[in-house]
Structure 1
Amino acid sequence: MAPNLSGYHRALDLFEGLVAGTPRDGWDAPSPCEDWTARDVAGHVTGGQYLIMALAEGRPEPDITRDPARFVPGDVLMSWRTARKECAAALTADALARPIPFGGLGELPLADYLEAYILEPLVHAWDLAKATDQPSRLDPDLVHHAFATAQVVAAHLRTTGHLAPPQRPQKGADEQTRLLAFLGRTF
């Protein structure tokens, strides 16, 4: 049975829509990610497509946090679409079955990793939206799924310095706000 990657693709579609909606002069805007611009956020998520390709092909993973803008030189949308297309081509049935390391939690098939990976483009879609003054409402189903993933991976990400300490959301906050606060985003 083929894995259901619809959530993964919906998260990528959401991110792509925000990349497409970013004005040409918006890429230098500061983002909610410390010391990163909108271009850096786009580069990080674009680099994530190369990271997934490397996992699919059994190659070493690129560092997508160091100088992430290098993944989106020039036309950001074109760079994103190229990376996404190349990544999609690498996601063969054999690649999706390949066991890969999952952040200190053991190994799992790449298809299962991609279900958890929804968190990455989803949260950075919010970051890009905030940086470029676009609507920042996220898909509630994806938020729910991503929040479950965040609770599994957050401790490891915090100990490795890849995630800020959690913030306290306002009483009665919706699930998106609680997710973002859990991930250390401030409003």
Structure 2
Amino acid sequence: MDPWPEIHRQRIAVADLLDSLARDDWDRPSLCAGWTIHDVAAHLTLQQMGLRDLPALLRSWRGGIHPTIQEMARRRASARTPRELAAEIRDTAARRRRNIGVTPLETLIDLLVHGQDIALPLGRVHPMPPEAAAVATRRILTMRFPPPDPAARTADGLRLTATDVEWTHGDGPEARGPIAALLLVVTGRTIALPQLTGPGAELLTARATHPR
């Protein structure tokens, strides 16, 4: 699939979700450990970064890419109000820009997963298109660069099967469930584990909750 039309739709959907939040919601924890809802929203505006933003990246360097991204998101969150962040995501929805060194699929993954990072802790329903989630999940499980989330390795030696779209991946004991839940689990969101069934689901749960 060409991911850009779905990226554009997901940016608008996330902006709509953010616009619906109460002010206090923005300070609540997201599903990302150590990140507030405000931080996650700010992080999504970093998809518009280009070479001119490299100095800001270097100033935020914290010894590794993940802590640096978190620091940049926090700085962006402290500099922009909730309304400004939602408006920025909406206003740039149709731009075909992605971060340096990643493909459009990583941009799509960010939107699908971080939308849930915002919605689920607040008890909100934020639908995830199954076809897009299937493409994103396969990308997570097959990517070599950028390095995938370590949580993707919890699915090694298992067969994952979606129950709401025609999609399977891997061989071994089967874990079945909605494709959105599979995507969340292989990106480290254990909140979705109860939605999975089968002997593979038991192994996934053990690996995700008791990592080596």
Q: Distance in 1 between matches of 2:52 and 2:74?
A: 24
SS in 2 for 1:101: coil
> Superposition pairs for residues 65-84 of structure 1, below 5 Å?
65-72=70-77, 73-82=79-88
Q: Which runs of 5+ in 2 are unaligned?
A: 58-67, 161-173, 192-212
SS in 2 for 1:184: coil
Distance in structure 2 (CA, Å) of the matches to 1:77 and 1:141: 30
2:183 is the alignment partner of 1:179: yes
Contact 1:143–1:179 (8 Å) recurs in 2: yes
Residues 1:125 and 2:129 are matched in the alignment: no
> Aligned in 2, Cα 1:47/1:178: closer, same or farther, shift over 3 Å?
same
The runs of 4+ residues in structure 1 deviating greater than 4 Å are 86-89, 166-170
Residue from 143, 150, 162 that aligns with 1:153: 143
2:126 maps to 136
User: What amino acid is the match of 1:101?
Assistant: G
Task: Assess if the C-alpha contact under 8 Å between 1:44 and 1:68 holds in 2.
Answer: yes
RMSD value, Cα? 3.1
CA-to-partner distance for each residue in 1:40-68, whole Å, 9 max, x for gaps? 1111112223x2xx0xx576284532151
Give CA-to-partner distance per residue, 1:116-167, whole Å, 9 cap, x none.
4201111000100013221133121221221122223377535xxxx35245
One-letter identity of the residue aligned with 1:45: L
Paired position in structure 1 for 2:101: 101
The count of corresponding residues between Structure 1 and Structure 2 is 159
| Deviation string, structure 1 residues 57-94 (Cα, Å, up to 9, x no partner) | 576284532151322345213223236536856x5xxx
Query: Conserved in 2, the CA contact under 8 Å of 1:37 and 1:131?
Result: no
| Distance across 1 between alignment mates of 2:132 and 2:85 | 25
What is the TM-score of this pair, normalised by structure 1? 0.69
Deviation at 1:4? 7.0
- With over 3 angstroms needed to count, the CA separation of the structure-2 counterparts of 1:58 and 1:117, relative to structure 1, is same
Q: What is the SS of the residue equivalent to 1:35? A: coil
- Equivalent AA in structure 2 for residue 79 of structure 1: L
After superposition, residues 38-53 of structure 1 pair within 5 angstroms as 38-49=37-48, 51=49
State the match for 2:151 in structure 1.
165
8 Å CA contact 1:27–1:39 kept in 2: the answer is yes
Q: In the superposition, relative to structure 1, how do residues 14 and 157 fare at CA in structure 2: closer, same or farther (>3 Å)?
A: farther
Residues 76-113 of structure 1 deviation map (CA, whole Å, 9 limit, x = unaligned): 13223236536856x5xxx89xxx534xxxxxxxxxx2
Match in the other structure for 1:24: 23
Task: Report the TM-score when normalising by structure 2.
Answer: 0.62
Alignment identity in percent? 22
| Structure of greater Rg | 2
